[in-house]
Amino acid sequence: MKNKKNILIIFGTRPEAIKMAPLVHAFKVEESFNTKVLVTAQHREMLDQVLQLFEITPDYDLNLMKPGQTLSDVHCNVLKGVESIILESKPDYMFVHGDTATSTAAAQAGFYHQIPVAHIEAGLRTGNMYSPFPEEINRKLTAQMATYHFAPTELAKDNLLKENNTQSIVVTGNTVIDALQWVMEKIKREKIQYPELKGINLDEKIVLITGHRRENFGEGFLNICHAIKVLAEKNGDSTFIYPVHLNPNVRKPVNEILTGIENIKLIEPLTYEPFIALMSSSYLVLTDSGGIQEEAPGLGKPVLVMRDTTERPEAVKAGTVRLVGTDKNAIITHVQELMDSREKYDLMAQAKNPYGDGKASSRIVSFFKSLQRVDV
């Protein structure tokens, strides 16, 4: 086909892979685009889990993860690695996602070669440069280098406008909802007994826990773990399930403080499908994750966020997400309140979804198809 455009979709971590997978599939079926996938493998095992589920075989794999890598390690290796693929694959457009080291360094490589960069999940802000760290600044830097901004919500669009990113902002919803809807349909259709969830009784009162934020390393994580320990002791009839992130800064305190407690199950990071199955059977979610703040409201699960700030205030406003910080007593008080008060629990446990309708990827593809029509 005349005018066929080369698309290069780039990601490297678990959450980026989940949120880019629907976009990869939406582009791949379009004959007017030659779509290639480049993974940096900033994550390895946690990325491969997602690639397998969504049946994506990358065209390029930088395979750059090292145990205990620093932010500079990742940034430098992504910059050089993506540059080499740009020279080989000659993309017309590059796609990056969100706020990771992969997205910012890849956007920079695109900018250096004057290739238009499309930024998916653009415009989320806390206004605090150290929280989330380094993601707040990563996301702002990527916005500066991007040509096309795909904002999940109107609020995200307003944030971009305030920073004078006035060119090509499209509000699409978040592609995480596309992924979530796809996986929920699969779960309902296939009714699989997941081997990863063997030994977990999904009918029990489950508190699902995740945590990995850099700004919580050290004292924050110690507080979080001590709070979980107290909560597990107080709520002997409930199970606290914690799929532990592979970052050694997370694993060390979690394993030291929480191993050997009967109703705390420390498990390996779960593939997306059993993770969502587990979340949809949980009573509540205690997390510092970004993506989970977007998914849980859609499933009607209250989320207590162990952070002082959030770049996703929409669900806080909708009443399904509450910021509880990382103070030990504050975490205990907020969780216990929802364990004890059905009334307070019901107020939060309402399925609301401020993050989209599952059609974000098709809106992004339509935008690029309309650019092609103008080009003809």
* Alpha-carbon span 61 to 39, nearest angstrom: 5
Q: Does 72 bind ligand UD1 (CB under 6 A)?
A: no
Q: Which of 302, 26, 353, 369 is nearest to 173 (CA)?
A: 353
- Asked if 307 touches ligand UDP (CB under 6 A), the answer is no
Q: Kindly state whether residue 69 participates in binding ligand UD1, applying the rule CB under 6 A.
A: yes
Rounded Cα gap, residues 233 and 164, in angstroms: 51
**CB-based contact 160:151 (threshold 8 Å):** yes
From 6, 28, 30, 44, residue interacting with ligand UD1 (rule: CB under 6 A): 44
Nearest to 297 by CA among 126, 176, 201: 176
Of the candidate spans 14-22, 29-37, 184-192, 304-312, the one that interacts with ligand UDP by CB under 6 A turns out to be 14-22
The answer to whether 27 touches 33, Cβ cutoff 8 Å, is yes
Q: In this chain, which of 29, 31, 57, 67 binds ligand UD1, going by CB under 6 A? A: 67
Phi, psi (5° rounding) for residue 370?
Answer: -70, -30
* Interacting positions 75-134 with ligand UD1 (CB under 6 A): 99-101, 134
- With binding defined as CB under 6 A, does residue 339 bind ligand UD1? no
- Residue 162's SS3 state is helix
Min CB(311)–ligand UD1 separation in Å: 11
Does 246 engage in binding with ligand UD1 (CB under 6 A)?
A: yes
Question: Does the footprint of ligand UD1 cover residue 248 (CB under 6 A)?
Answer: yes
Minimum CB separation of residue 291 from ligand UDP in Å reads 3
Q: Are 3 and 342 in contact (CB under 8 A)?
A: no
For 170, the 3-state DSSP assignment is strand
- Which positions from 213 to 252 touch ligand UDP by CB under 6 A, shown as an x/- string? ------------------------------x---------
Residue length, the chain? 376
Q: Which is nearer to ligand UDP, 85 or 179 (CB)?
A: 179
**Which are the catalytic amino acids?**
99, 121, 135, 212, 214, 245
Mention every residue, 6+ apart, whose C-beta is less than 8 A from residue 48: none
| Phi, psi (degrees; rounded to nearest 5) at 276 | -70, -35
Interface contacts to ligand UDP, rule CB under 6 A: 14-15, 18, 210, 212, 243, 269-270, 272, 275, 289-292, 295
Interface contacts to ligand UD1, rule CB under 6 A: 13-15, 42-47, 65-69, 71, 74, 99-101, 134-135, 212, 246-248
